[in-house]
Structure 1
């Protein structure tokens, strides 16, 4: 971890409001994986955003919007997020959203392992397979192929297809943040041992 976690007692006046907002939001939504140390210091991408709160606040706002205004079924979202995390080799992303997928959608270890390896599991629903294909194509570079785009619109409607594209882009950013700052799975990083939100 390249940016040390910031204990609540050490927050600057600019960091404090962002910390409070993120801690509250993270605690409400992400209780299935470790998001903070025992002293309350945030882990994952949230710690990185705290180090530059003027910019981090904007990223947090986008994250909240991506969650608050969702149309896509959550299982579909998790497949797309895991496909992005796998493409970037973002360990924390796979750890976090793998926990969500297993707990909330009974994703099997085999399916999770296949997604984490960047491969398409054979037992995906049509919606999940489309989410995987969109994520895989967009993270490969270039324009999303027309048949893949049309399939997303047919299954999810225009607003749902838009959301899927935004979701993939957002988690590309999150994955790059995690990799750029060497944010690991907390159990693999002595600086990150902590608690679930």
Structure 2
């Protein structure tokens, strides 16, 4: 059960209603799940959802690369709702089901595309150790360009915010529990830590 519920439209403050209208009229066409929590601070909700629009729809990276990075992030944080939503988007963008299954199982996927390999390796390094070495940085920049590397870091940072928001407030749980992410030590709802 979510710890926070969506605020009914009739109970939204003018600032909250404005942010909701902006989200609904944007490329998503709906209020993204983390906004259920972010609306408690309408300024945060507005700025975060706009950043999300930019990073998901308006970067130099093709959707397959963006969704690959989001899945690595969702798996890192075991964010069930993020994983469920972006697994579908990744498949639609053409990411191979085997690659998605490997990420879910925390196995290195067999990526034949150099750009995908760079996105995966940079994402994994940043999420696990918080840094990327010189060789990986050079490879990532060669594949994505400087702009693409900056955008990739932005995508990862934004989707960490999304994952932590979804996890903290148990948004999308239990309906979006992803069986492939289940870990007996950390169930989808209310981990002991």
TM band (smaller chain): 0.7 to 0.9
Is the Cα–Cα contact under 8 Å of residues 72 and 156 in structure 1 kept in the other structure?
yes
Measured in 1, the distance between the counterparts of 2:40 and 2:33 equals 12
**Paired residues for 1:104-119 under 5 Å:** 104-105=93-94, 107-108=96-97, 110-119=98-107
Query: Relative to total residues, which structure has the larger helix share, 1 or 2?
Result: 1
TM-score w.r.t. length of structure 1: 0.80
Worse overlay, 110-119 or 86-95 = 110-119
Q: Please, which runs of 5 or more residues in structure 1 have no aligned partner?
A: 29-34, 36-41, 190-197
Q: Report whether the alignment pairs 1:148 with 2:136.
A: yes
Worse overlay, 75-84 or 180-189 = 180-189
Compute the displacement of 1:10 (Å): 2.2
Compute the displacement of 1:185 (Å): 4.9
Provide the aligned C-alpha RMSD in A: 2.0
Deviation >4 Å, runs of 4+: none
Secondary structure in 1 aligned to 2:130? coil
Is the Cα–Cα contact under 8 Å of residues 85 and 175 in structure 1 kept in the other structure?
yes
Is the Cα–Cα contact under 8 Å of residues 114 and 120 in structure 1 kept in the other structure?
yes
Measured in 2, the distance between the counterparts of 1:141 and 1:76 equals 21
Q: CA 1:13 to 1:163, structure 2 compared with 1: closer, same or farther past 3 Å?
A: same
Tell me the residue number matched to 1:90: 79
Tell me the residue number matched to 2:189: none
Is the Cα–Cα contact under 8 Å of residues 15 and 53 in structure 1 kept in the other structure?
yes
Q: Please, which runs of 5 or more residues in structure 2 have no aligned partner?
A: 178-193
Measured in 1, the distance between the counterparts of 2:129 and 2:108 equals 18
Measured in 1, the distance between the counterparts of 2:18 and 2:105 equals 38
Secondary structure in 1 aligned to 2:36? helix
* Match among 146, 157, 174 for residue 162 of structure 2: 174
Tell me the residue number matched to 2:13: 12
TM-score w.r.t. length of structure 2: 0.82
Compute the displacement of 1:7 (Å): 2.2
Which string of whole-angstrom CA distances, capped at 9 and with x for unpartnered residues, describes residues 80-131 of structure 1? 11001100001111111101011231532x3222222333211442111111
Compute the displacement of 1:186 (Å): 6.5
Q: Relative contact order (C-alpha < 8 Å, sep 6+): which is higher?
A: 1
Is the Cα–Cα contact under 8 Å of residues 15 and 50 in structure 1 kept in the other structure?
yes
Compute the displacement of 1:188 (Å): 4.6
Tell me the residue number matched to 2:23: 22
